[in-house]
């Protein structure tokens, strides 16, 4: 993030430090990427292990809850990793 972009994020009456910090690390962008990637991976896992074999002991709809938990956990993990990488890049830039 360039200095100009950081100063634009600082403009305005509510220049909260946490908002500026999150904007500098790109947390919103990282979360969007992580949600999309984790959705694709969890759908792939669901299709591979539940729908494709079609020999599950329980109804495949019951595994949808597990898929949602996997999606949420992966999204949080990927967001954390991407934000840590953004912080590392920002520190190396300084």
Instruction: Characterize 62-76 residue by residue with b for buried, 16 or more Cβ atoms within 10 angstroms of its Cβ, and e for exposed.
Output: ebeeebeebbeebbe
Asked, for residue 36, whether it belongs to a domain, the answer is yes
Asked, for residue 50, whether it belongs to a domain, the answer is yes
Between CA 21 and CA 87 the distance in angstroms is 10
Asked, for residue 6, whether it belongs to a domain, the answer is no
Asked, for residue 61, whether it belongs to a domain, the answer is yes
Number of folded domains that form the chain = 1
Asked, for residue 77, whether it belongs to a domain, the answer is yes
Quote the percentage of the chain above a pLDDT of 90: 55
Domain region containing 34? 26-93
Asked, for residue 10, whether it belongs to a domain, the answer is no
CA distances from 60 to 1, 49, 76 (A): 45, 10, 25
Give the end-to-end CA distance of the chain in Å, rounded to a whole number: 11
> pLDDT tens digits for 11-57?
555 668 889 999 999 999 999 999 999 999 999 999 998 888 777 66
Phi and psi torsions of 11, nearest 5°: -70, 150
Query: Residue 13: how many CB atoms within 10 A of its CB?
Result: 4
Average pLDDT over residues 53-80: 88
Asked, for residue 9, whether it belongs to a domain, the answer is no
Asked, for residue 13, whether it belongs to a domain, the answer is no
């Amino acid at each position: 993030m360039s200095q100009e972009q950081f100063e634009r994020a600082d403009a305005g009456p509510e220049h909260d430090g946490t908002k500026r910090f999150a904007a500098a690390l790109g947390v919103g962008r990282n979360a969007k990427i992580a949600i999309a990637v984790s959705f694709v991976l969890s759908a792939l896992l669901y299709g591979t292990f539940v729908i494709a074999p079609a020999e599950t002991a329980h109804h495949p709809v019951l595994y949808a809850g597990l898929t949602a938990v996997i999606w949420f956990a992966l999204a949080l993990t990927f967001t954390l990793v991407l934000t840590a990488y953004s912080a590392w890049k920002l520190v190396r830039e300084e």
